[in-house]
Chain A
Amino acid sequence: MRGRGLGDRLLHAYTWLIIVWLSSPIAVMILFGFNDKKSKSNTTWQGFTLKWYHQLFDISDLTVALRNSLVIALVSTLITVVIGTMLGLAIGRYRFRGQGVTNFLVFAAISTPELVMGASLLSLFVSGNVPRDANTIIVSHVLFSLSFVVVTVRARVIVLDPSLEEAAKDLGATSWGTFRQVTLPSILPGVLAGAMLSFALSIDDYVVTSFVNGSTVTFPLWIVGSVKTGIPPQVNVMGTLIFGVGVLIAIATSVTARRRA
């Protein structure tokens, strides 16, 4: 092995630097979840307290909004991953009629500004007499996440070696069996990456949701509403907890991976 240690270590440090940079506003958010503030605004430090953790669910509207966001994100991610992976497979692996149109549509979905997507969806729902609620939000979230999953899965699929699947089929595996045991594990990193992206997009979305939500409030919508008069610390605490759960999952994956390795 060549001595490439220094270069690798620099890259390693650089990667952590980027992770820290991305997380620094989060540190601010976490910190101000402990701020003993007395006024409506939460921008100057006034002392340490844990009381917001006790009063976490005091703002019932906020709690409902958070729950809505989590449920919507889960459901829309599930749908997006299933139909998006299917489409990614189709485009990346096969040649079929309408491929050009499909690529174009996938691209169009990404290149549509959220504002435009939201406004056009609202008009559609209204003229179709569809009531706006969590279901319409889910529909719109799938719409903008779909392209991300498709593109990510496709990038993965097109460098896959088809001979593995051929071999499986020759050995008598069914189509579904082949998929489950040969194809899926190979594309799983792409699928998971797409799933994480889709979940993050959904839980974070403001613009499109604001058009099609009807009277259902989601977490980002609630926060934007409270900006003008001061974001309550409960929001910081919830953000901290979401972040904390994510960190725990990351640690758990890392530990199990190391055990496996």
Chain B
Amino acid sequence: MRRLTPYLLALPSWMWLGIFLVVPMAAMASVSLQTGNAIDGFAMTFSFSNYTDALSRYSPQLLRSLLYGGLATVAMLVIGYPVAYWIAFKGGARKSMYLFLLLLPFFVSFVLRTISWGFLLADDGVLFGPLKSWGVLPVGFHVLATTFAVVGGLTYNFLPFMILPIYVALERVDPRIIEAAYDLYASRTAAFRRVVLPLSLPGVFAGVLMTFVPATADPVNAQILGGTSNTMIGNIIQTQYLTNLDYPTASALSFTLMAVLLVGIFIYAKALGTENVLEAAAR
């Protein structure tokens, strides 16, 4: 019975993922190699050219998305880590309350949130209007319809997904280990760098995973907050799927995006793993 335990535990999720993820994905892979259109039908022609065509046409948007996603992820890491740290170590009995407060805005629809953001960031709105009339900002200044707005929106929208996993990993760290480090004359930074940070890395990895991927693929922030040169790959895929009904191109782009993200994450995992193995060996 013992040996079966992991299989039984995993079985429901396996079935769910198998039926609702693997099968449709395989179907989509098949479609990505077909040619045709919605009216006359599609036929399997093994056209790998779908991939090369899509890549050559849309590589600017793909690279741009990786850039925005990367910037947003770094921003979220920098902004979110201290918050996770504080709640995990100093939150005390009110930890759940802080977590809840962090997640609360996300019980409200993102459309409402993003539109409210747009309202706050309006050229002559409550934030910039007064600043402009006092001469602090030039009249032509605007945040909306710029790259900054889009990356800012991505950072805002996915921040809790960075904070939560880091918190979960940090929370398990026994504060006595840190005390021990201090007792051994470690400075605050050294204690953090050599004790806390490595222990939090699984959380950081999970956080990066849960933020970089959706941020890179997100179409909504670019749509609502962006300008004319902020189109991301998510917007392109959306247009191909829903407006042009060009399923082969859309599928090819989707797989390309997923492949690129996979590669990025694998490299990151390897880098993390290698680092840690070395450090463990050194202790």
Contact = CB atoms under 8 A, between A and B. Distances in A.
Direct contact between A and B judged by beta carbons closer than 8 A: yes
B254 A113 contact: yes
Contact of B108 (A26, A43, A124, A190): A26
A109 interface: yes
B184 to A, nearest CB: 14
B12 to A, nearest CB: 4
Decide if the interface of chain A is mainly helix, strand, loop or mixed. Answer: helix
A132 interface: no
A11 B85 contact: yes
Contact of B9 (A87, A119, A148): A87
B111 A227 contact: yes
A22 B167 CA distance: 17
Contact of B217 (A11, A113, A250): A113
A121 interface: yes
Contacts of B210: 110, 148, 151
Contacts of A171: none
B17 interface: yes
Nearest to A196: B103
Interface string B71-87: 00000000110110111
Given A83-B16, A120-B27, A246 B107 contact: yes
Contacts of A4: 188
Interface in A227-251: 227, 231, 235-236, 239, 242-243, 246-247, 249-251
Contacts of A235: 112
Interface string A117-147: 1011101100000000000000110110010
B24 A121 contact: yes
Given A43-B119, A115-B219, A25 B167 contact: no
A150 interface: yes
Contacts of A14: 82-83, 86
Decide if the interface of chain B is mainly helix, strand, loop or mixed. Answer: helix
B16 A159 contact: no
Contacts of A220: 109-111
A184 interface: no
Contacts of A182: none
Contacts of A139: 20
Contacts of B167: 193
A102 B10 contact: yes
B99 interface: yes
Interface string B219-255: 1100000000000001001100100000000110010
Contacts of B6: 90, 93-96
B265 interface: yes
A120 B247 CA distance: 11
Contacts, number: 283
Contact of A223 (B19, B24, B111, B261): B111
Interface in B54-101: 79-80, 82-83, 85-87, 90, 92-101
Given A96-B6, A124-B24, A196-B99, A239 B168 contact: no
A173 interface: no
A146 B165 contact: no
B258 interface: yes
B46 interface: no
B106 A204 contact: yes
Interface stretch (B137-145, B156-164, B273-281): B156-164
Interface in A83-125: 83-84, 86-87, 89-91, 93-96, 98, 102, 105-117, 119-121, 123-124
B28 A120 contact: yes
A119 B32 CA distance: 13
A7 interface: yes
B21 A155 contact: no
Contacts of A250: 96-97, 100-101, 104
B98 A19 contact: yes
Contacts of A24: 120
Interface string A144-186: 0010101110111011100000000000000100000000000
Which 5 pairs from chain A and chain B are nearest by CB? A120-B24, A25-B116, A94-B6, A254-B97, A113-B217
Given A120-B28, A175-B1, 8 more contacts: A7-B188, A12-B86, A110-B210, A116-B254, A124-B27, A139-B20, A189-B168, A254-B93
16 contacts: A14-B83, A25-B105, A25-B120, A83-B13, A87-B10, A90-B5, A105-B18, A155-B202, A196-B100, A199-B107, A204-B106, A223-B109, A223-B111, A227-B115, A250-B97, A258-B94
Interface of B: 1, 5-7, 9-10, 12-14, 16-25, 27-28, 79-80, 82-83, 85-87, 90, 92-117, 119-120, 156, 159-161, 164-165, 167-169, 171-172, 182, 188, 199, 202-203, 206, 209-210, 213-214, 217, 219-220, 234, 237-238, 241, 250-251, 254, 257-258, 261-262, 265
